[in-house]
Chains A and B, each alone.
Chain A
């Protein structure tokens, strides 16, 4: 009834259409409908094994073969240590004063939530997307949407969870967005991933006071990242005067190229978000 060529053409067109529709659905919902977990559970144990081996080999190299330069470094570090002890003494005094004031003002600790430490065991196979695989999953209490942080600042959020492993989308990924504030002037905007060493800080009104060097922190309005967590520092400020928004570039505090261990905040306190408003 139909020629083979006709069947092939129709089949091809149907296949392409289905393909485009599926890609459209998955890219809009950022969901893998549970399929992602299967691949993650299968490959992640091997990633963990290889990562541990590579780190072990690197540690041996750094601890034993680099001892030649360690002697000189030791001398320098001793000098630095003496300086640091003096500074530490001053800081202790400041800390005690700070603690007293903090008690007086009855401040809540910003990170009173339970956190889970996790190790990064794999990175995204593609250069275009910025995700990492960590060695903690459902069994450790992780769930989709939890914030992932470092002492230096925000790292990302959990987007896929299997029993023992999770996938984390870093805030440098272009699909990531964080509601943020300039710490000094409280100017509000959205931090979006641009590349490994910079963010775009969008929708900041020109009427606000923003300067190069200002620290940008999470506002808490997005319901994911607790208020006050550090994100980065304004490194460039541009845009025509006729625009209503600034064009701001922010340099992250976290070094995403050297991400090895992270903290997952298990249950961000609802009060933290509420106080952000």
Chain B
């Protein structure tokens, strides 16, 4: 595999992603556009399935765009089938399922039952639908699945109890399905990324860490394109096949879990 040096001077290995087919599947908040740009930088072919018109519009040039929904198993099946038809079978699938309803800043006591369900529960079910839709297309093909979420769920976020609940639930599902599908040569991992590297929407969140409370080792924001996408590329490469069910914290050294 050939080595490259990025603009930041960070050694990268383009071979991890060059020529590989990467699917991104997202619901709600756009947490993948920066990553998709990074995959393209490293020579991947990228196709995106999303229920959000803004996310699809923000996709970098060169990304195959497919619109779909995830509110039922047939809907998820149809979306994944359309993605397969448009882009061919994947080598790597990157998923981010963060319903916008989960982003409402409010104390738990102010949430209605419906808001709780939309925020904490529906995105969990949507992830299950997507994984089930993917199953027949990725089993026994050495495909890697990486689910991406903000690292705030590792430590909990006040006023975002539903979102924290959802994210930790998704992380638990990744572990469980990694165990169930490991024998079918599928790996599943969780990326807990610095929230603000994923979406500017997290600028408003009352994140647990402030500069004066917990220091971030690198002391600077992360660039998803240059710093997170390559790690995901590694997980999707032959070199990353031994890693499954793991939670990788890509936050520049904030929480250092555990």
Note whether A and B form a binding pair. Answer: no
On B, residues with C-beta under 8 Å from A are none
